[in-house]
Amino acid sequence: MSPSVSSLDELGPRICILGPSNAGKSTLADAIARTYNTTAVHLDLLRHLPNTDWTMRSDEDFVSLHNEAIKESAWIMDGNYLSCSPQRLERATGLILLEVHPIKCLWRYFRRTILEKKHRVGALEGNTDTVKWEMISWIVFQSHRTRTKLAKKYGECTIPKVKLSSKQAVDAFYEKNQLERRGKTADTNR
């Protein structure tokens, strides 16, 4: 089993970011990609058709897009989609697991759908996020199964990895690695 790391540099050029819905995966992927001048791949955007209300692509089309994306030499990829995780983790050089509390995820969901009606990182083109009972139910009542699966996947993973188990840990990771959330000035001269 690979030891846990604390520096972004130790994770290499192909980083997977896993975590529950609304944990901040896309925001972190974007911050890392901008800092390292590489590509952020948001799996939600590969899985869903643009200009829809989160209508899924066929499994075949999604897997094809996913497998093309992981062939690149460098990427920061956010999203779970565990059915494709074996080939993704085989190509990955590092893994970040966000274990943000469900209440924080719920708050982030409400903030992005009610308070911040602007384009967000990882948003589906042509779609405005709205409050949906299905998503609330998922975050509050069902995400524990995904969290358990992700924790197991993290434990089995042998590449360099880091687990961020609280908002404070996430904030400290941003600060230590000189990452900036979109909307703030980023220092990309690293």
The DSSP symbol for 9 reads G
What's residue 190's pLDDT? 33
What's residue 2's pLDDT? 54
Stretch among 116-125, 150-159, 168-177, 181-190 having the lowest mean pLDDT: 181-190
What's residue 126's pLDDT? 66
Share of the chain above pLDDT 70, in %: 90
CB contact at 8 A, 127 and 62: no
**CATH class given for the domain over 8-176:** alpha beta
**E strands in the chain:** 14-18, 40-42, 75-78, 94-98, 161-164
| Average pLDDT of the segment spanning 89-98 | 97
CA distances from 92 to 66, 169, 185 (A): 13, 22, 28
- Give the number of other CB atoms < 10 A from CB of residue 63: 17
Task: Tell me the domain boundaries of the chain.
Answer: 8-176
Euclidean distance between CA atoms 71 and 75, whole angstroms: 9
| Average pLDDT of the segment spanning 31-53 | 94
Stretch among 25-29, 40-44, 67-71, 139-143 having the lowest mean pLDDT: 139-143
Kindly tell me if the per-residue pLDDT of 64 is higher than 90.
yes
What's residue 119's pLDDT? 66
Mean pLDDT for all residues in the chain: 88
∠ at Cα 139 (154, 104), nearest 5°? 80
CB contact at 8 A, 39 and 23: no
pLDDT digits (tens, 9 = 90+) for 97-139: 999 899 999 998 888 888 765 667 777 676 777 888 988 998 9
Kindly tell me if the per-residue pLDDT of 86 is higher than 80.
yes
What's residue 167's pLDDT? 86
Kindly tell me if the per-residue pLDDT of 44 is higher than 70.
yes
User: If phi over 0 gives left and psi between -120 and 50 gives alpha, with beta otherwise, what is residue 7?
Assistant: beta
